[in-house]
């Protein structure tokens, strides 16, 4: 831009420069987005008479929440919850333990390139395969039951936690780590003194969050035969026992809320 005299620009209105500078492109993109949205909504086929019939069933389902039945299937519910909790805790512990070394390897600023590529590869595979797909595969291998669920959740935990841990390590303060290295520390000592204190609060927070996710997932995995409370829930739906299903859903919601509260308390303590 050529040099401008202050007098020329005084009194001129100032606006934030537009993200897309070319006006015609800006308009085409904006109108295109609106046209696409309208076309997309128009293409959804809704069978309104079917919806009308379904409203009754939906209402029955929702109304059943006002009278959840904890009692008549309590034995099954209790077994299912216990199985889910065991699955969640075991899968979280194993998954987190495996995630930490992989997370260290997947951080570009502390791992050499070959290690980095291998660890990022593991993370990518774990994240690409959705839990349900993994669970179906593992149920096919190990048969019905919580073992398949446990393995699925461990596998999913690795992708989630390693990736986020690695990203936190990559965002750490270099100076602190450099200071530890300059004292002649070995690699492990460097990780323990220079890196770990910086990422620990986030690691704990993420682990708590992952336990929470694993519990919710364990309710879904039952639908494909991988054990836990989900299996009980599935049975209840199959038998049209919406009141029992409501009781199970309430227990799941309660547990997730309790975990949420717990993670808040823990994170506040470790800052």
Partner 1 sequence: MLRLEKLVKTYRTGDQALKAVDLEVPQGQVLALIGPSGAGKSTLIRCINRLVEPTGGKVWLGATELTRLGAAALRRERRRMGMIFQEYALVERLTVMENVLSGRLGYVGFWRSFLRRYPQSDVDEAYRLLDRVGILDMADKRADELSGGQRQRVGICRALIQNPALLLVDEPTASLDPKTSRQIMRLICELCRERNLAAIINIHDVALAQMFVQRVIGLRFGAVEFDGPPEALTADVLTTIYGEEDWEATIRKVEDEEVPAEGQFA
Chain residues in the site for partner 1 (CB under 8 A):
173, 175-176, 178-186, 188-190, 192-194, 197-198, 200-201
Q: How far is the CB of 80 from partner 1 (least distance, A)?
A: 41
Rounded to 5°, angle at Cα 91 from 87 and 94: 145
**Helix, strand, coil % (nearest 5) of the chain?**
80, 0, 20
Residue number with CB closer to partner 1 (27 or 187): 187
Q: Is the CB of 172 or the CB of 231 nearer to partner 1?
A: 172
- Both ends of the chain: CA-CA distance in Å? 48
Q: Which is nearer to partner 1, 26 or 174 (CB)?
A: 174
In whole angstroms, give the CA distance from residue 109 to residue 69. 54
Decide whether 1 or 188 has the Cβ nearer to partner 1. Answer: 188
CA neighbours within 13 Å on the CB side: how many for 244? 22
Alpha-carbon gap, residue 234 to 187, rounded angstroms:
50
Tell me the closest approach of the beta carbon of residue 169 to partner 1, in angstroms: 14
d(CA 177, CA 213): 32
CB of residue 189 to partner 1, shortest distance in Å: 5
Q: How far is the CB of 165 from partner 1 (least distance, A)?
A: 16
Structure tokens at 120: 């990022």
């Amino acid at each position: 831009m050529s040099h401008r005299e202050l007098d020329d620009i005084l009194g001129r209105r100032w606006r934030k420069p537009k993200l897309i500078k070319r006006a015609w492109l800006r308009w085409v993109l904006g109108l295109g987005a609106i046209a696409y949205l309208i076309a997309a909504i128009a293409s959804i086929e809704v069978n309104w008479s079917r919806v009308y019939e379904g409203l009754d069933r939906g209402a029955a389902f929702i109304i059943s929440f006002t009278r959840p039945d904890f009692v008549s299937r309590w034995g099954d519910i209790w077994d299912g919850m216990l199985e889910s909790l065991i699955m969640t805790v075991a899968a979280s512990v194993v998954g987190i333990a495996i995630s930490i070394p992989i997370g260290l390897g997947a951080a570009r600023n502390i791992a050499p390139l070959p290690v980095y590529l291998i660890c990022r590869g593991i993370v990518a595979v774990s994240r690409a395969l959705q839990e349900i797909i993994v669970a179906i595969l593992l149920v096919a291998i190990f048969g019905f039951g919580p073992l398949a669920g446990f393995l699925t959740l461990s596998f999913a935990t690795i992708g989630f936690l390693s990736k986020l841990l690695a990203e936190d390590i990559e965002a750490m303060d270099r100076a602190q780590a450099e200071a530890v290295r300059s004292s002649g520390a070995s690699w492990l000592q460097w990780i323990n003194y220079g890196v770990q204190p910086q990422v620990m609060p986030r690691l704990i927070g993420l682990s708590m969050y992952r336990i929470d996710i694993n519990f919710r997932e364990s309710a879904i995995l039952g639908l494909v035969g991988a054990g836990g409370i989900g299996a009980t829930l599935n049975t209840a739906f199959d038998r049209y026992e919406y009141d029992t299903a409501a009781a199970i859903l309430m227990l799941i919601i309660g547990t997730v809320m309790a975990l949420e509260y717990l993670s808040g308390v823990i994170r506040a303590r470790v800052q």
